[in-house]
Structure 1
Amino acid sequence: MKLQIDRIINEEKIEIDEVIDFSNVSMPVKIVEPVKIHLNFENLGKREVRVSGEILATLRLTCVVCLEEFDEKLKIEVDETYIPETFIENRKEERPIEELSEFTYKGSYLDTFEIVRDNILEFIPPYPKCPKCASKTEEI
């Protein structure tokens, strides 16, 4: 779903619940079932938009120990600020550390699909272990 920035600015806050099907999307991991999202889009002024909420996804991963596939449910908490790309281009100074959760948008809309995809990619475990192998390493 694409949300117009002007709509977010005019309505101050928009809340969406959506289900996104990733079955035909090329990703580094398989997403087993449609992804459920609950996101809030809030106008912060100066065309800045805060996106908060949660993403629920089930990934099919391969265990780094036994090489068996297993499904892992992810619950991703989202809290990000989106600013127009032109704001960054016009800045001459370095960004303070509190702005590291700022992302840019180009054009006049935010795409929920891109936000969800980027968050899932960020939260893929680097060394996934199936429950059986994870419990064995905890015992050691």
Structure 2
Amino acid sequence: IEIENLGMGFKVKGNYRVTVELQCRRCLILFPYELNSEIDEIYTTQKERYMIKKLLTMNELSTFNFNGEEINIKESIRQNIIVSIPPYPLCKIDCKGLCPICGKNWNYDECEHLNEIDQNEFEENPFYKIYLNLMQKNAKPPERNINKKK
């Protein structure tokens, strides 16, 4: 961690690695997930907070208070961890999920219901159609119209 004195506060910059326990959204098992991230924050006292915000750019507006004696970076790291957690965590990319009938984890064993589930049920499901549409859109990169003049 590097700490820089800004005169009206301190800039704290560094890297951290942490392992959090997440729950897979398909099969519901708990699994460890490693996060590698960095911290780049500014700490000021309450008095200096207003003055320093005038000098900062939009990217630097994330400021934290400290009591003038010591800097506690726990809150900043906690917030960074929260925003770094994937919104749809999977234990593995090809997780097979749970049987919708008996709840058996298909990653470990198949069940007798696997052959009973009709593919037509999935294809008629409106959510499945949305899923397929999203998968097709994500398969090809979006076109960007930068520098095109009308």
Alignment TM class, shorter chain as reference? 0.5 to 0.7
- CA deviations on 1:23-56 (whole Å, 9 max, x unpaired) are xxxxxxxxxxxxxxxx22111222x211111111
**Structure 1: where are the runs of 5+ without partners?**
1-38
1:123 is matched with which residue? Answer: 84
Looking at CA atoms only, which structure, 1 or 2, has the larger radius of gyration? 2
Cα separation, partners in 2 of 1:90 and 1:49, compared to 1, 3 Å: closer
* Offset at residue 130 of structure 1 (A): 1.6
Cα separation, partners in 2 of 1:130 and 1:79, compared to 1, 3 Å: same
2:38 is matched with which residue? Answer: 77
Count of aligned pairs between the two proteins = 97
1:107 is matched with which residue? Answer: 67
Q: Does residue 60 in structure 1 map to residue 1 in structure 2?
A: no
Partner SS for 1:60: strand
**Structure 2: where are the runs of 5+ without partners?**
97-130, 140-150
As a proportion of its length, which structure holds more strand?
1
TM-score, L = length of structure 1: 0.54
Q: Which amino acid aligns with 1:71?
A: P
Taking only the aligned residue pairs, the percentage that are identical comes to: 31
* Divergent runs of 4+, >4 A: 89-93
Cα separation, partners in 2 of 1:68 and 1:77, compared to 1, 3 Å: same
* Offset at residue 64 of structure 1 (A): 1.1
Cα separation, partners in 2 of 1:40 and 1:72, compared to 1, 3 Å: same
* Offset at residue 134 of structure 1 (A): 6.6
Higher RCO structure, 1 or 2 (CA under 8 Å, sep 6+): 1
1:24 is matched with which residue? Answer: none
The answer to whether the 8 A contact 1:63-1:129 is kept is yes
TM-score, L = length of structure 2: 0.51
